[in-house]
Amino acid sequence: MSSETRKAFPFPDFEPRWQARWETEKTYRAPNPGDPEFDASKPKFYALDMFPYPSGDGLHVGHPEGYTATDIISRARRKQGFNVLHPMGWDAFGLPAEQYAIKTGQHPRVTTERNVARFTGQLKRLGFAYDWDREVNTTDPGYFKWTQWIFLQIYNSWCHPVTGRAEPISSYTGPDPDSVRLAYVAEVPVNWCPGLGTVLANEEVIDGKSEVGGFPVERRPMKQWMLRITAFADRLADELEPLDWPAGIKARQRDWIGRSEGAEVVFQTGRADSNERTPVTVFTTRPDTLFGATYMVLAPEHPLVASITTPAQRAAVEAYQKETSSKSDLDRGVAKTKSGVDTGAIAINPVNGEAIPVWIADYVMMGYGTGAIMAVPAHDERDSEFAAQFGLAVREVVVPTATETSSGCFAGEGVAVNSSFLNGLATAEAKSKITAWLEEKGLGQKTVNYKLRDWLFARQRYWGEPFPIVWENGKHRALDETELPVLPPSLDDFKPTGTPEPPLSKATDWVRYSETATRELNTMPQWAGSCWYYLRYCDARNPQRFVSREAERYWMSGGSQRPETDATSRGGVDLYVGGTEHAVLHLLYARFWHKVLFDLGHVSTSEPFHKLVNQGLILGEDGQKMSKSRGNVVNPDSVIEEFGADSLRLFEMFMGPLEQVKPWSTKGVEGVYRFLGRVWRLVMTENQEGEWEPSSKLSATAELASKPRKVLHETIKKVTEDISSLSFNTAIAQMMVCTNELTGLEARPVTAVATLLHLLNPFAPHLTEELYERLTASWPEAAPAGQLALQPWPQWDESALIESEVEVVVQVNGKLRDRITMAADADHAAHEAAALASPKVLEHTAGQTIRKVIVIPRKLVNIVAN
């Protein structure tokens, strides 16, 4: 094996060997409560990766970044005495598989299985300590049976208006249960994408194009399944607060929910030449500016436009409506200048009886609020711009308080003026006074509005979960639990029909459920399976329930004690690592489902993910985003081939902070590879035959001198703490320091080397197990037999960290002038005396008066002189 391909250490030999051993021995199997091996005295730790969509491209180097992070902390926690749940699975339904199937004619199940096999092989080659017995696959009937079951829970529930919680539909006493279900059918304007042959959620439409494929998307009304996520809007926003999530992700979720408090105000509208009046309700967050409303604007699609428009304006109004309807939301959004048309109608301001003109304009959206606004150009920038453009009146009704400066349109808070009974009130008081006044007169009320819309839950696809729903006499009805799972029909032709009719309609036998009933033809969106997979991992093979109560309670709500996160812990997954691309969609949907399940008593926590961390994108070596077209994609397989899995793992953690965006560097991989080579040679040496044997410098009897002992214990401390704070890059740096220190010793104590291997084990599991096994073979007393992964984590000795002498910095006027050595227990006076005696200090203070001496014992002395 001394060929030119010879490696610095024989990883091509030992990496597969250890991987095979872990697999056959099930080293990382996590027993559940009730299992014989389960130890209830241990605390639990649940580390979750966002499971991948098994694409045809295989793993890229971005995947192992987050996976390695969770793997390291999982391995460390296991050694620290936790029961660790660290699973992996496949989010395998979805458009790409189906698109590929349509293109190649292969059934998506076939390509999915092939892709899963490829991903699995790649993940195993990276040495992740997953409990593969808990692997889940969203396309597995044993899995989606429960996705359908959860849908039934949602379907059979409603949100009680008083408690704000999901309850069984049986507690609803009103006339029409179908009108309040959390899953309901509605005729709504949807994002129909002809290119994909399906409707899409708002979230899946980016700038008027489909997120997948970039096809144009048009609005059209269709009958669709919706989930009533808006009923949970407040809880989804409020309960973010205690979660240990990045502030940016919380902000994005809050923005997406878009809660805004204000009031609805009713204006009577009609023609100036007639007494006929129609009420129009507007929404405003600034009811205190009601006296400043100088015109009203309706969205062009507003249903009352046609009836109130005067004959003289009709042609212009209709032309404008036509123009806006042909514009995409994107065009509407980027328009540089405001546009609009006067309807000729008037609205009566309920607060002062004033008649103001009613316009239509595309800066008012039908989809938000009531689709109508009162325009206050003095205090709203959009209204101000519009008024300026069309010469509409402006009336100031709020003046800034003295400290604020007003320039042009003042949209801030201040004091009300020109507002009758509101005059002199601060904005907040004016708001509540006018709102109370409106409510008293029946002219309006306090209202909360959300940007969040109900979740469009149906897709016209083949490769997704069928709904457990049939239609009979024009009404939908849930199938019984015993009929689950509802399997998709086997179809040879799963192409979109080209019309909104889903491809499942082609399976005529399947569609016919009974003499009188037919099956729902839509399938669920890809998000469905990922809404609850973290629960299935707790009890992945349970045929009776989606997760057993015991397993759920143990893994999701704390088990016994918890690690250092106690104070803020509310239960749930202890650490969830994934990319920011799921900041709103997946994380919001999963939280919604979890809350429904919580309200119905199926799970024990109200939030699923206690701590969330986003790993940063890995860029190509050129600093650009990796992409095939740029040719800068790094393939993990070839990195493993050349440097080994441990090097890849270590490098991805050494590149920089986990959350940060950072560029790939082949030289950097070589660097950590060299480091692992040094660790290897710390233990092993090459004999004359070119074979590796334990180094003669190793010694079971040698004592560690105080300096290397200090370094070793500093390393234990830093690595332990850095793993908890996910600061893997600095942990690795410290292990490099320690390795260099131990390498420099003439006699290397086996216990010290073993300690280093323990610390490095979560990062480089193959190399460390291999070396440790060799240590065990020669020095069983110093290195007790057994896998490192299953042995306890080292403890540091505080006393080893204390030095008898310390170096103290001496500054004159804040500038570094000298360094002196002091006894560790030297007092203030001793520091001062020693510093003042320094020749360098004397030199720099010559001819000056010493004003002050600042002493930080063991650190620094600063002499102030002039």
Instruction: Pick the piece of the chain touching RNA (CB under 7 A) from 168-176, 495-503, 587-595, 805-813.
Output: 805-813
Decide: is 665 part of the binding site for RNA (CB under 7 A).
Answer: yes
Decide: is 856 part of the binding site for RNA (CB under 7 A).
Answer: yes
Decide: is 369 part of the binding site for RNA (CB under 7 A).
Answer: yes
Query: Would you call the peptide bond into 485 cis, given omega within 30 degrees of 0 as the criterion?
Result: yes
- Shortest Å distance, C-beta 862 to RNA: 4
Decide: is 864 part of the binding site for RNA (CB under 7 A).
Answer: yes
Structure token digits, residue 495: 């192409």
Decide: is 358 part of the binding site for RNA (CB under 7 A).
Answer: no
Instruction: Pick the piece of the chain touching RNA (CB under 7 A) from 31-39, 62-70, 157-165, 357-365.
Output: 357-365
d(CA 765, CA 761): 5
Decide: is 248 part of the binding site for RNA (CB under 7 A).
Answer: yes
Diameter of the chain measured on Cα atoms: 110
d(CA 101, CA 264): 50
- Shortest Å distance, C-beta 328 to RNA: 11
Decide: is 368 part of the binding site for RNA (CB under 7 A).
Answer: yes
Decide: is 860 part of the binding site for RNA (CB under 7 A).
Answer: yes
d(CA 698, CA 551): 46
- Judged by CB under 7 A, the residue of 135, 342, 362, 396 near RNA is 362
Report the site for RNA in 291-310 (rule: CB under 7 A). 299
Report the site for RNA in 192-221 (rule: CB under 7 A). 206
Beta strand 340-348 with 398-400 is: unpaired
d(CA 402, CA 342): 38
Note the helical H segments in 542-684.
549-556, 585-599, 636-643, 645-654, 666-683
Instruction: Pick the piece of the chain touching RNA (CB under 7 A) from 83-91, 424-432, 707-715, 857-865.
Output: 857-865
Decide: is 251 part of the binding site for RNA (CB under 7 A).
Answer: yes
Report the site for RNA in 822-841 (rule: CB under 7 A). 840
Decide: is 247 part of the binding site for RNA (CB under 7 A).
Answer: yes
d(CA 814, CA 809): 11
- Shortest Å distance, C-beta 291 to RNA: 15
Decide: is 597 part of the binding site for RNA (CB under 7 A).
Answer: no
Structure token digits, residue 518: 């037919």
Identity of the residue, 369 or 488, whose beta carbon is nearer to RNA in the bound complex: 369
Beta bridge partners of 398: 416
Identity of the residue, 81 or 677, whose beta carbon is nearer to RNA in the bound complex: 677
- Judged by CB under 7 A, the residue of 10, 663, 708, 857 near RNA is 663
- Judged by CB under 7 A, the residue of 118, 277, 382, 433 near RNA is 382
SS3 content of the chain, % helix, strand, coil (to 5): 40, 20, 40
- Judged by CB under 7 A, the residue of 196, 237, 243, 364 near RNA is 364
- Judged by CB under 7 A, the residue of 55, 99, 106, 260 near RNA is 260
Report the site for RNA in 548-587 (rule: CB under 7 A). 580
Structure token digits, residue 96: 């790409």
Compute how many residues bind RNA; rule: CB under 7 A.
Answer: 84
d(CA 482, CA 288): 57
- Judged by CB under 7 A, the residue of 491, 809, 830, 836 near RNA is 809
d(CA 416, CA 438): 17
For residue 240, CA distances in Å to 161, 435, 569, 830 come to 21, 29, 13, 54
Beta strand 805-812 with 860-865 is: parallel
d(CA 658, CA 69): 8
- Judged by CB under 7 A, the residue of 15, 264, 288, 380 near RNA is 380
Report the site for RNA in 669-708 (rule: CB under 7 A). 670-672, 674-675, 677-678, 681
Decide: is 862 part of the binding site for RNA (CB under 7 A).
Answer: yes
Decide: is 643 part of the binding site for RNA (CB under 7 A).
Answer: no
Instruction: Pick the piece of the chain touching RNA (CB under 7 A) from 233-241, 247-255, 469-477, 642-650.
Output: 247-255
For tokens 């590929």, the residue is 100
Report the site for RNA in 432-451 (rule: CB under 7 A). 449, 451
d(CA 630, CA 628): 5
d(CA 731, CA 1): 34
For 170, other C-beta atoms within 10 Å of its C-beta total 10
- Judged by CB under 7 A, the residue of 106, 285, 606, 695 near RNA is 285
